[in-house]
Structure 1
């Protein structure tokens, strides 16, 4: 039995026609028929019922196709694993990222990774949390930088960093000069500025408020955390902001930032990939580079 014979049987089963299968396999139809007959004799069973108009799998053929597909998938994965050393010298990774979070982390990570693996091309996709989860689940990105909680059950993840979430208030707000952490329950009547639906940090805001026993009174929504902070600085409401995205206090458009408590507020940045997907050595190297670089630069 040869691997090519497994491929022949699978193709015939898909097309249910010897001529179409032979065309796709780039072999002559008589050669395909001969190979099938040879295989059936070796196995001692018929794999197909042949009529003048159709080709149908027998019960034995159905079992054979299932096993053959598993074998070919395993062989393909083996080839990919064995090619890993070559991929480290020449390859491509597609990395998904939240736009603002990525702008803080990827400029630190990409130069380090590029210096170690100059022949690996990185393609960056920036999108909303929900869209990135879909792209990662479908295999359109190899890895994605996301925040918990993830909504897509087919994703696996490993933590990158636990980051504090700050409360942003206008400089003229009664809380602005406070030095002690602010209990969440004190914010129940405050006007909130939040990100629009599809953004993972929006759900974090709602979750924190719900844990404190209230729903946020939303007065503005934006697709950009920088716009959210500008609206806060302009006196339009309050907002939660990841610590790494806070603005320098000397900035003209910086709100006041306070710590939160009861519950303490944080978010978990993770590196997500599709469950069961083989990660190349290049992908594993990128994950390790991201972990070590982020640990070096951020102590949140």
Structure 2
């Protein structure tokens, strides 16, 4: 079995099309088909079924794909580790994070880190709570910011690096828009604009409203902080957003009002695979982040 066969197989499996995989690999379609055929002969099974112009993995093909991807990922990691051992300043860090951190926090920490390590490369992956954990476990990313810290998964470990407050956001013409602070209970009769299911901010807002004595009436749902903020600014309802998501301003903004104590907050954690040593460059970035949030970030 050749490495090239595994690479061709994985490309075809992901694209479900031999011609498109060949184009991406910059080789002839016949070469891809030939290598797939040889791989099937060696294994003694069919890996693909024809579905019109596309191909689809057989059940055994799906099983083999997981192993093949793991083999190729391990090979890539081994090559990266060698490069990093020779020169960790030219390594690559794979980082996952939720969308709400991509507006301000991620660019800020990357800029600070690259000021000291300008040749380190980054590969980013955004996702929701469950998908970020999966990306860490599948070795798609080395580290991930997540909210909250997973407490029911013994395959990841991490630490809380930041706690931030949530603020009420209201249309500019709302009767409470000019208040310095309000009780969440004052919004009990309002229509809420919330994140869709699967986003960690949704249960935070939902539980806060329940603690304030009411169930939020949902009028609209969104998947990005910009969308939530824009819908509220357009008068579609009210919502709660973390401070970081409100750092970016535009000409079309909602009113931002502080919630009275005890207020509403969320924790942000940095997680990694448990029992597995980080690569040299990822470990360097991890230590930088811990120091950054313990010392530099809190002093701002």
TM-score (norm 1): 0.65
**Deviation readout 1:180-228 (Å, 9 max, x if unpaired):** x322222222211011112111121112122223221110001111111
Q: Which residue of 2 aligns with 1:230?
A: 230
Q: Which residue of 2 aligns with 1:97?
A: 97
Q: Distance in 1 between matches of 2:275 and 2:248?
A: 42
Q: Classify 1:149/1:111 alpha carbon distance in 2 versus 1 (closer, same or farther; 3 Å).
A: closer
> What SS class does the counterpart of residue 103 from structure 2 fall into?
helix
* Structure with larger Rg: 1
Q: Which residue of 1 aligns with 2:148?
A: 148
> What SS class does the counterpart of residue 259 from structure 1 fall into?
strand
Q: Distance in 2 between matches of 1:206 and 1:115?
A: 40
Q: Is the 8 A contact 1:233 1:255 kept in 2?
A: yes
Q: Is the 8 A contact 2:137 2:273 kept in 1?
A: yes
> What SS class does the counterpart of residue 194 from structure 1 fall into?
strand
> What SS class does the counterpart of residue 289 from structure 2 fall into?
helix
**Deviation readout 1:125-146 (Å, 9 max, x if unpaired):** 1122221121112322110011
Give the RMSD, CA atoms, in angstroms.
Answer: 2.8
Q: Is the 8 A contact 1:131 1:198 kept in 2?
A: no
Q: Distance in 2 between matches of 1:193 and 1:214?
A: 15
Deviation of 1:232 after TM superposition, in Å, equals 0.7
Q: Is the 8 A contact 2:195 2:221 kept in 1?
A: yes
> What SS class does the counterpart of residue 101 from structure 1 fall into?
helix
Map 1:1-300; keep pairs closer than 5 Å.
85-86=85-86, 88-150=88-150, 153=153, 154-179=155-180, 181-246=181-246, 251-293=250-292, 296=296
Q: Distance in 1 between matches of 2:159 and 2:83?
A: 25
Q: Which residue of 2 aligns with 1:56?
A: none
Q: Distance in 1 between matches of 2:110 and 2:248?
A: 24
Q: Classify 1:152/1:87 alpha carbon distance in 2 versus 1 (closer, same or farther; 3 Å).
A: farther
Q: Distance in 2 between matches of 1:278 and 1:152?
A: 21
Deviation of 1:112 after TM superposition, in Å, equals 3.0
Q: Is the 8 A contact 1:163 1:266 kept in 2?
A: yes
Q: Is the 8 A contact 1:134 1:152 kept in 2?
A: no
Q: Which residue of 2 aligns with 1:30?
A: none
> What SS class does the counterpart of residue 145 from structure 2 fall into?
strand
